Amino acid sequence: MAKTKKEKVALKNEYVSELQKAKALVIVKPSKLTPNEANEFRKELYDFDAKFNIVKNTIFTLALAEANLPAIKELEKGEHAVLVLSEDIVSPSKSLKKFIENTTSKDGETKVEIVAGIMDGALLTKEQVSELADMPSFDGSISMILGILDNAMSGIVNVLEDPTRSFATILDQAFKQD
């Protein structure tokens, strides 16, 4: 059923609101995706505070322009969905990659294809979007940084303890010679 002008304006305003809150977007082209598959993916994204929705191309293009984000030429034809990422960008990207791998049609074709992305106001290619899934998660990044700091602090402690240890060894050897 066609939307009224009032409904279209409300939908555009909703899109603009989501775009302004988002840290990044991933635009995908779903092909033969069932509602159950989409709902399962939405449930998985709930923990990451990310949203996955089918969009109206022309209204979404207008919302991108209003939110001062780059236009996506691929939105001109076909059905598209948008993965809106908030704080955590990597974990939902990993889920999207897994979702793409796990959803194939009966004839072996993938049902979801990454089209483009937007992060920090810059347009991303589908290759760059795919690379987001290969990055370490936020917790993984913190663990790596803490590991680096731990190694550095251990080295400093060893350097500071070395003169004391050396002096104690010399005294110990001097008393053993007697």
Q: Report whether pLDDT(70) > 60.
A: yes
- Residue range 108-143, pLDDT digits in tens: 778 888 888 888 888 888 888 888 777 766 677 677
Does 21 share its domain with 67? Answer: yes
Predicted TM-score of the model (pTM)? 0.70
Selection from 84, 66, 83 nearest residue 21 by Cα? 84
Q: Report whether pLDDT(9) > 80.
A: yes
- Beta carbons of 111 and 104 less than 8 angstroms apart: yes
Does 55 share its domain with 100? Answer: yes
Q: Report whether pLDDT(1) > 70.
A: no
Q: Report whether pLDDT(88) > 60.
A: yes
Distance CA 62, CA 60 (A): 5
Confidence of residue 48 (pLDDT cuts 50, 70, 90): confident
Selection from 116, 124, 123 nearest residue 27 by Cα? 116
Residue-range definition of the domain harbouring residue 130: 5-135
Q: Report whether pLDDT(17) > 70.
A: yes
Does 54 share its domain with 111? Answer: yes
Does 64 share its domain with 117? Answer: yes
Selection from 62, 55, 67 nearest residue 120 by Cα? 67
Residue-level pLDDT at 173: 77
Number of domains making up the chain: 2
Does 123 share its domain with 159? Answer: no
Q: Report whether pLDDT(11) > 80.
A: yes
